[in-house]
Structure 1
């Protein structure tokens, strides 16, 4: 009898245990703490009824049938509770049951970063190791968090529907709490595209604006309306892949201050299919002009988000203040948010296995074009706001860029600088780190990638005395060296794949362009820099021993070889012609500063070239201030006349020779005891300018001559500014000549004056002070107004200079011009100069190194750039803070 009682008790105990099968599943599926408590209560009641209750008619049914019925009833009740309870209410209840060290009682998030670091150190794991394995660290969620997806949509009806359906299709129902669609003034309203039943099935909640307010505001309003634990911002034209949510959730579960960016692939808007190709894009880095560029690296960390696709906990969103409420439209919000996160205690990572296909806007595909507009100037102002808040002392660097110089002290908009007190409040409250910490944290980009360069310099060929210049876009040419040309300023860049340090290429300073050439025979040009060094076409190094620019080998292309070379640009021919011939210029002088023999009209130097004479831009040695090599001539008294000797171009000196008055040559100098009249010249006025005359033999009366072009006017173009050691090239040295009233002036170079031509054209012609077409006025906003037409000088986007309707507030950078004492009239997006006598460009290419021996490259006029100087100052001012950014 006793044995039977024991058997009955065991059976009852086993049956009671089966009533508790559902609560663990509810916890695993993340139905929340209130639902878990309700399910446990039901299980306890059922166990009590089985143990202590009286036998009823129901007891006669098999226990398995009763158990199934119990599960169904329990599941139904729990489902109703789960649907009715909000996450906020659930969190409040949870806080009374779960209190552990490092856990805040008022939240379901753990928030001790120091504890997280100690735990990681003890375990010997990185954050991503814990995240990928599903473990929870201090700072993370203790249960399955609810996801709110925020979709900002403006007139994207078709794409909105497809995106919402894709999100629901590829996100588990237990994880997806809601899809918050922010209808930013769409016509018709997006809500009308879905039935009420469809909206419910797709878990859509709506935020509607009657008019377009801009992407930043739309995302902010969507985040404010979101009630989930994790907010995932997506564009309104994306398609997530299967399992996209889990890596994101895993990362944020282990650290609520971690922001996650998925791997972004391509989406075909017609087929709505993903084209994955490589591993997808996710990482951007910050440039000095407060912009961002895509790049790759070997870790998961993201310096700057592109801004469209990201996930973060609602708690961290609230703590960091969300988006800057004073930004307008679109642009710059990703810069501000990324710097907030990194400098204020958070981090941004890429969930490599989370793929989201994104439709890119392409001009060639009208279907993809945006159906909204951004307020004029909003992007520039937004970017400046972000930099003003976070760049600290590096704001001075930003203000060297033309589009931001208006905000600098003395600039047109200095008094209108934006109010950033809302961001500064967050910065103070969260005790955020200085910007230098960010540069040090991402030293792989900024130091190994070359964005904080040791030196900036010209790349000069010693044989031609010319420099490598990026001439707009990606074109690279050999041009006269000029300290005024931004296209000639280079610095080492890109990681060397062998040493993993800088540098493997040359970057045009303050741009994203690096020198590149594929192989021998290819033309040298530029492309977007690969800071990680993965583009083999950009592996170009200066060999200090041979002075050659070599196509450098690397870890992935060890056999790569070749050198940079090309053809020297031909100068203007100098010939021997009848003196006083009006078709030729014949006045030369010895420049008192440089020692060169120069054409008085255009200022170029007499140059020895392959046995003849040419005019080419003067090349002045930076140390001596004098010309040298092919442009250095020694004037020797010779029988009461002058012998012109070139002593630095070979083992023996060469002399100007008239070949008996038939042609002008460079020929071996005769012994002075042999009185050869062919090398005897009369140089009438070396100081003020005069003719160099051959006066011997039957062909006397011949002079050094440069052919005049028979033109009454010449067109004006935009070219790189050329000035070396204070000497400006002919065609660019416009001098401001005030007229009688002092208000208007002419702009002249020699006898040529800048003026209006026809309706909106521009040219130089013979100066006429009475011609209103040649009279100009310089406005307070640095605009040049032509008196006759009333139109303004306009750079035309850097493509062609013209006269155009004036923008009187200085907002159009194409109409902002700088005039200086050197004569430059410089402006436009590329800061180029007006030029009516442009120098012929010489292309460069990759050739066999044996054929490039005549090219001797050197670093010319190096200097430490502002960004580097500021970093050195930061190292002195707060070294400990910078050191804290170092990671293994």
Structure 2
């Protein structure tokens, strides 16, 4: 009997011990002493009940059932207690550990604590390890350090710090690190000591402006929280903004988080949420970034201003590139570093931060600092040089980066990126092709890695669609040398979720767009996700029409691309044998068109008059048609010139009694009206078309010769077909000094030079004129001898002479003189032209009205970026395949 009692007591003690399993876990999770006490109390009560309430009805159930029920109740009670006491405890802890001002950093940086608790730097033991409760994340509630880089931000800094404190829970916000980057007066003078302590501000002061990248780096170095959140110095977080960020990083310390960025009114300091906020950018081939949308939370490229990451991951990845200067490019480097080296970037969709945008129209928002010249270009090149791998060759095709390519002006000055290469080696980072494959929705479905690049040609006019700077779209003679005529399929098709639903101008962010029937065709920033209905334009290969909103979209928007041909050269009625006019015409026996012999252009009916325009030859018949199709009909022994293919009506060449040339309703032959009587003197070999009716018989079809001593020079798309450059763009370089230092730029008898009236013009060549002498200066470009100024593209709007830049990084002064005679440069890679071709605009019309256009893909080729990807697929297929996601 005694032995049975002993066995029963042992069993009871063992069971009691199992009731105390929860308190050690509470301690391990860091839920605080109060929660631990509650847990211990519950365990003690349960043990006493087990020992002294054996006869209760509860004891009839198996012990295992009772134990599980107890654990569930204990966890629920402790969770409620923890959520109630944590904010209060954290606030008290911070009030105990406030630090007095003091402390220094190296150089001219000074760190002063205005009330933030200084904690030890977190080591691996402070993070949950694989197999723990939160793999790769934190064991306890992480603390936030907000870093604000501020340069002369004044009141915006104060409002930003106040907003952060107002909308961030006290138990979560550890400190606000304000990096005063050379502000005058120092930003610290705007707040009292009491205010600084209340706002938990830690100061990092630079006596001189060092730039955004350095300021953020020093702020991160001074931060002592578990999570660093970088914000611009002119933002206002919304209530609850911190929780989604913390939740993401708690479960994976290698996860970088960006909030949803909305608009902030600098005057009222109120948020305007609008469409819900921006967060995602994608990488372009010129190492820049563009905003876009998608259906998931992943962010290929951060905009760079607003982001959060764990201090541990910041340290492991090396922070910012310490050799970047000023501002720009750091977001490209950091984003690629995160993705290729084992991390990820996500958008916390429910975390809203309002941001004040810099607007030139609002002086209050303008930056009060300057970035070193050329810094942004060099920074972007550093990032690409480090991470683009083979695709660096693609970057170096852009004018602003060609100087770094082999043979370029700055090839020997290429930056040293050994510090980034050390990070790549240490973290065993993946190749750049993995990034392209990981974001297939952007680069393949969105068209950034296109199958082919091509011209979009109207086969009836032999003219091509061209983006002419900015967003203007015109129809111009096809040219192999015009970047504005190179297109490729782009934007996701929302019906198939694959490419393509529009056409993108290669190497730009511009896609064809049209708003409505009757509206003009233009370009807008591409919507890679395919959600801009204005950009739904496709080529129907069966009908050869460019359709607006084809297929399922046609229910709300339908039509085709059509329009008017370019304005041609006027054909008028002038005195025969007038030396100021060209008057020789003939009938082309192949096409049937009436040609003006010197220009080779066709007589064209246009708005009741005659013009000369490029001959529009139908690819099927080989003949001209429409407004260029004329019939020569016998008319009382004379000739009547009839236009029969003008939409159902027939019009005739009419002299208006010898006063002017026009198209008029044809008179009945029995009427004998001599205003429509002509004599074509030699239609085979070429001759005059002479008026033969009435008393004024000395009038002929005439085209004016332009006699000018100078002509203005404009920027136009480069035109070259089959290696032949158009007149007005064929500039040849010819030495004019014995040492070859100076040269002229000549097209026939016209030479490029400085002009008093227009700044830049062509005039009759004169080897002695210093205004026509040029030299090519390293890091400057094309320098005019007389003025000492440089050839400048004026932002792609107007060719001009302008003060020379000296670092060679401004694309407005980067020019190419090639064998074809082009002087090509500027941001849009356009050419100097003193005899520009008239442009035709294109518009949306009913498809029945667009049948005189026959669109086709012309001269397609595989672009460099696509070829490099195919080579990467052969080189490391398994690595690329590992990037595939559902």
Instruction: String of CA shifts for 1:630-676, please: whole Å, max 9, x gaps.
Output: 9999xxxxxxxxx9x99xx99xxx9x9999x999999x9xxxxxxx9
Q: Work out which of the residue numbers 871, 874, 877 in structure 1 matches 2:872.
A: 874
Asked if 2 retains the 8 angstrom alpha-carbon contact of 1:521 and 1:846, the reply is yes
Equivalent position of 2:455 in the other structure? 458
Change (3 A) 1:533 1:196: same
Asked if 1 retains the 8 angstrom alpha-carbon contact of 2:583 and 2:689, the reply is no
Q: Separation in 2 of the partners of 1:848 and 1:423? A: 56
Change (3 A) 1:790 1:197: closer
Q: Separation in 2 of the partners of 1:795 and 1:80? A: 59
Q: Work out which of the residue numbers 804, 809, 820 in structure 2 matches 1:806.
A: 804
Equivalent position of 1:55 in the other structure? none
Q: Separation in 2 of the partners of 1:735 and 1:598? A: 30
Instruction: String of CA shifts for 1:361-408, please: whole Å, max 9, x gaps.
Output: 111221111111111111111001000000000111111111111111
Asked if 2 retains the 8 angstrom alpha-carbon contact of 1:772 and 1:788, the reply is yes
Equivalent position of 1:851 in the other structure? 849
Equivalent position of 1:97 in the other structure? none
Using the TM superposition, give the Cα deviation of residue 804 of structure 1 relative to its aligned residue in structure 2, in angstroms: 2.6
Asked if 2 retains the 8 angstrom alpha-carbon contact of 1:735 and 1:747, the reply is yes
Asked if 1 retains the 8 angstrom alpha-carbon contact of 2:754 and 2:784, the reply is yes
Asked if 1 retains the 8 angstrom alpha-carbon contact of 2:780 and 2:790, the reply is no
Asked if 1 retains the 8 angstrom alpha-carbon contact of 2:260 and 2:350, the reply is yes
Equivalent position of 2:82 in the other structure? none
Equivalent position of 1:320 in the other structure? 317
Using the TM superposition, give the Cα deviation of residue 355 of structure 1 relative to its aligned residue in structure 2, in angstroms: 1.0
Change (3 A) 1:561 1:75: closer
**TM alignment of 1:93-132, pairs within 5 A:** 106-112=124-130
Asked if 2 retains the 8 angstrom alpha-carbon contact of 1:168 and 1:202, the reply is yes
Equivalent position of 1:753 in the other structure? 751
| Deviates further, 794-803 or 493-502 | 794-803
**TM alignment of 1:406-805, pairs within 5 A:** 406-553=403-550, 558-573=555-570, 580-585=577-582, 605-606=601-602, 615-617=612-614, 678=679, 681=682, 692=687, 705-739=702-736, 741=738, 742-758=740-756, 761-780=759-778, 783-805=781-803
Q: Separation in 2 of the partners of 1:212 and 1:536? A: 45
Q: Separation in 1 of the partners of 2:431 and 2:447? A: 21
3-state SS, counterpart of residue 812 of structure 2 = helix
**TM alignment of 1:176-187, pairs within 5 A:** 176-187=173-184
Equivalent position of 1:246 in the other structure? 243
The reply to whether residue 289 of structure 1 matches residue 286 of structure 2 is: yes
Using the TM superposition, give the Cα deviation of residue 142 of structure 1 relative to its aligned residue in structure 2, in angstroms: 1.6
**TM alignment of 1:225-264, pairs within 5 A:** 225-264=222-261
Q: Separation in 1 of the partners of 2:464 and 2:546? A: 13
Change (3 A) 1:599 1:521: closer
Using the TM superposition, give the Cα deviation of residue 706 of structure 1 relative to its aligned residue in structure 2, in angstroms: 2.7
Using the TM superposition, give the Cα deviation of residue 705 of structure 1 relative to its aligned residue in structure 2, in angstroms: 4.8
Asked if 1 retains the 8 angstrom alpha-carbon contact of 2:377 and 2:809, the reply is no
Q: Separation in 2 of the partners of 1:90 and 1:716? A: 63
Using the TM superposition, give the Cα deviation of residue 726 of structure 1 relative to its aligned residue in structure 2, in angstroms: 2.0
3-state SS, counterpart of residue 208 of structure 1 = strand
Change (3 A) 1:111 1:855: farther
Change (3 A) 1:622 1:885: farther
Instruction: String of CA shifts for 1:588-625, please: whole Å, max 9, x gaps.
Output: 9999xx99998787x6544665799854457899999x
Asked if 1 retains the 8 angstrom alpha-carbon contact of 2:460 and 2:619, the reply is no
Q: Separation in 2 of the partners of 1:575 and 1:394? A: 56
Using the TM superposition, give the Cα deviation of residue 820 of structure 1 relative to its aligned residue in structure 2, in angstroms: 2.3
Using the TM superposition, give the Cα deviation of residue 752 of structure 1 relative to its aligned residue in structure 2, in angstroms: 2.9
Which ranges in structure 2 are unaligned for 5 or more consecutive residues? 1-19, 49-84, 100-116, 630-638, 667-676
3-state SS, counterpart of residue 195 of structure 2 = helix
Asked if 2 retains the 8 angstrom alpha-carbon contact of 1:604 and 1:730, the reply is no
The reply to whether residue 137 of structure 1 matches residue 131 of structure 2 is: no
Change (3 A) 1:187 1:612: closer
Instruction: String of CA shifts for 1:670-695, please: whole Å, max 9, x gaps.
Output: xxxxxx995562877xxxxxx74579
Q: Work out which of the residue numbers 250, 255, 266 in structure 2 matches 1:269.
A: 266
Instruction: String of CA shifts for 1:91-137, please: whole Å, max 9, x gaps.
Output: 67xxxxxxxxxxxxx4222354xx79xxxxxxxxxxxxxxxxxxx53
Asked if 2 retains the 8 angstrom alpha-carbon contact of 1:587 and 1:599, the reply is yes
Q: Separation in 2 of the partners of 1:512 and 1:501? A: 19
Using the TM superposition, give the Cα deviation of residue 751 of structure 1 relative to its aligned residue in structure 2, in angstroms: 3.4
3-state SS, counterpart of residue 145 of structure 1 = coil
Using the TM superposition, give the Cα deviation of residue 461 of structure 1 relative to its aligned residue in structure 2, in angstroms: 1.5
Asked if 2 retains the 8 angstrom alpha-carbon contact of 1:760 and 1:803, the reply is no
| TM-score, normalised by the number of residues in structure 2 | 0.79
Q: Separation in 1 of the partners of 2:570 and 2:728? A: 18
3-state SS, counterpart of residue 263 of structure 2 = strand
Asked if 2 retains the 8 angstrom alpha-carbon contact of 1:606 and 1:613, the reply is no
Equivalent position of 1:400 in the other structure? 397
| Deviates further, 356-365 or 401-410 | 356-365
Change (3 A) 1:615 1:76: closer
Using the TM superposition, give the Cα deviation of residue 696 of structure 1 relative to its aligned residue in structure 2, in angstroms: 13
Change (3 A) 1:697 1:22: closer
Asked if 2 retains the 8 angstrom alpha-carbon contact of 1:754 and 1:765, the reply is yes
Instruction: String of CA shifts for 1:484-519, please: whole Å, max 9, x gaps.
Output: 111111111111111111111111111111111122
3-state SS, counterpart of residue 205 of structure 2 = strand
Equivalent position of 1:374 in the other structure? 371
3-state SS, counterpart of residue 810 of structure 1 = coil
3-state SS, counterpart of residue 419 of structure 2 = helix
Q: Separation in 1 of the partners of 2:620 and 2:336? A: 44
| TM-score, normalised by the number of residues in structure 1 | 0.79
Q: Separation in 1 of the partners of 2:814 and 2:835? A: 22
Q: Separation in 2 of the partners of 1:283 and 1:167? A: 23
Change (3 A) 1:875 1:322: same
Using the TM superposition, give the Cα deviation of residue 785 of structure 1 relative to its aligned residue in structure 2, in angstroms: 3.0
Q: Separation in 2 of the partners of 1:510 and 1:443? A: 18
Q: Separation in 2 of the partners of 1:530 and 1:158? A: 37
| Deviates further, 270-279 or 429-438 | 270-279
Q: Separation in 1 of the partners of 2:799 and 2:601? A: 29
| Deviates further, 289-298 or 456-465 | 456-465
Using the TM superposition, give the Cα deviation of residue 263 of structure 1 relative to its aligned residue in structure 2, in angstroms: 0.8
Q: Separation in 1 of the partners of 2:440 and 2:860? A: 23
Change (3 A) 1:337 1:621: farther
Using the TM superposition, give the Cα deviation of residue 237 of structure 1 relative to its aligned residue in structure 2, in angstroms: 1.1
Q: Separation in 2 of the partners of 1:721 and 1:619? A: 21
Using the TM superposition, give the Cα deviation of residue 531 of structure 1 relative to its aligned residue in structure 2, in angstroms: 0.7
Equivalent position of 1:303 in the other structure? 300
Q: Separation in 2 of the partners of 1:762 and 1:222? A: 50
Q: Separation in 1 of the partners of 2:866 and 2:778? A: 33
3-state SS, counterpart of residue 126 of structure 2 = coil
Asked if 2 retains the 8 angstrom alpha-carbon contact of 1:26 and 1:36, the reply is no
